[in-house]
Amino acid sequence: MVLLQGAGAILIAVGLGQETDAQALGWLYVYGVVRVLISGSMTDRQPEGMSSLTRTGRIHMLLPEPAFASIAVAASHLDWTGKPDVLGPLGWLVTATAIATGAALVVPSIRRVAFGLIERLHYAGAIVWLIVVAGSLLWRRTGDHLPTGGAKPSLSRCGASPGARAGRRGTRRDPCCA
């Protein structure tokens, strides 16, 4: 899953670069590369502290920090024309859960009680954010767009209104729906 998430993030960054006017895609590339690197280092089972970690265990403990930070910055700051509105709140959810995960690592009482839950919420938020971005790229490729700025979603693949598809008087009939 980690490897696929990293590869997916890199491919989404490539797609955003080719299909949109998005800037600062480096954060998404960093996230993808770090997730791919994490897949090559397994965590140690029940370490007794940083000094008892193996080399790969240390790598696994250090790499999530840049991954969580980079996806938080990407999710909350990437912007492009036609960006779906839902990505705004999702981006801030990813950022908030990344900060909460960091806090849970530092505060032992939170770590014991809620670290696993907070970390999983972060992963879920990041994955949903990536899926929505990928979906918006697919819609862009097919000519449809997810709702943005209060716009109503298209009811057909060609974008014609229901009245136009039915051929009602006074409505513009789109040739692709004929």
Domain ranges of the chain: 2-146, 150-178
Dump pLDDT digits (tens) for 116-159: 999 999 999 999 999 999 999 998 877 755 556 555 444 344 44
- Using an 8 Å Cβ cutoff, are 84 and 66 in contact? no
% of the chain surpassing 70 pLDDT:
75
Q: Give residue 47's pLDDT band: very low, low, confident or very high (50, 70, 90).
A: low
Neighbour-count burial for 16-28, b at 16+ CB within 10 Å, e otherwise: beeebebeebebb
Whether 92 shows a pLDDT value over 90: the answer reads: yes
Dump pLDDT digits (tens) for 78-91: 999 989 999 999 99
Q: What is the pTM of this model?
A: 0.74
- Using an 8 Å Cβ cutoff, are 98 and 69 in contact? yes
- Using an 8 Å Cβ cutoff, are 35 and 9 in contact? yes
For residues 70 and 76, what is the distance between their CA atoms, to the nearest angstrom?
10
Q: Give residue 11's pLDDT band: very low, low, confident or very high (50, 70, 90).
A: very high
